[in-house]
Amino acid sequence: MTGEKFVDVDGIRTRYFDKGDGPVVVLFHGGHFGSNDAADCAEDWGLNFDGLAKWFHVYAVDKIGQGHTDNPKTDADYTMSTVVQHAYGFLKALNLRNVHPVGHSRGAYLVARLTLEHPELFRSCILADTNTLAPGISKNETVMANPPLPRLSRESQRWVLQRYSFAFEHITEEWLEAMMRIAALQKYQEAVTKMENTGLRTIRFLPHLARQKDETLGWIRERGLAKPTLLVWGYNDPTATLDQGQALFDLLARSTPDSRMQVFNRAGHFTYREHPVEFNELLRSFIQRNSG
């Protein structure tokens, strides 16, 4: 991925990539600011971006506090609601409408929440492998226990990505290099310190997220997402397990009439990277059907 751009979003310098023409697709990666596991960023979509740009005007954005986008302004802003507000501000700053948002993991929670709060901006809703949104308890703590030290080293980040995955071919050196550059940034280290060493993660971020998740699932039960919805899952995802995906789809299907679920066999948490051609074709068909 080349040609990075920056836009001011309510005082937050925000990095993004865009390419192609046609219906607007915006890709939101997973993870969260100050993660000590892997430095998720827009380059997570590196195996999909150019292919999707053959059919769509595709954007990939670094969420607030991740990639090369600025950190939240205050400690009180280290919440998922800040992430949602920033993503909404990004769409407004670029005057994007009739958007087909695609979210992975915590990015999928973001996309669902955006769709619920600002349905006027979207034509569909695409969610992939999201423990954050799905009912049930996260298995991240056990699956990711005892990573190599030091944390965020190349070896440690590779280990984390492998633990998430069914196969390892999609873990490219280019992807790791992008993550290493981000992990070395002063602003990223500051976010790690705030989340891990000062306790913001356990004191503020996770409790706030738990409350927001309960509220979000309640809204889905009451009124659904009100947009054509595609849920994509990896059959072999070790952290967002298939039973959680099925439970989320059951919830969606009861309240969102135009909803469907696609399960990829031999795929872990990064379904879109482990099967990039098939994933892109799935999105092409779904988005073109819902762009008229």
Domain-wise residue ranges, the chain: 5-289
CA distance 84 to 88: 6
pLDDT score of 146: 87
Superfamily of domain 5-289: Alpha/Beta hydrolase fold, catalytic domain (3.40.50.1820)
* 10-residue mean pLDDT series, the chain (292 residues): 96 98 98 94 98 98 98 96 98 98 98 97 98 87 86 96 97 98 97 90 94 96 96 97 97 96 98 98 97 80
Closest CA to 80 of 69, 65, 100, 62: 65
pLDDT at position 16, please? 98
Q: What is the pLDDT of residue 138?
A: 77
Q: Report how far residue 155's alpha carbon sits from residue 205's, in angstroms, rounded to the nearest whole number.
A: 27
pLDDT of residue 159: 96
Give the number of C-alpha atoms closer than 13 A to the C-alpha of residue 162, restricted to the C-beta side.
9
Residue 119 is predicted with a pLDDT of 97
The alpha carbon torsion through 30, 32, 37, 42 (nearest 10 deg) reads 50
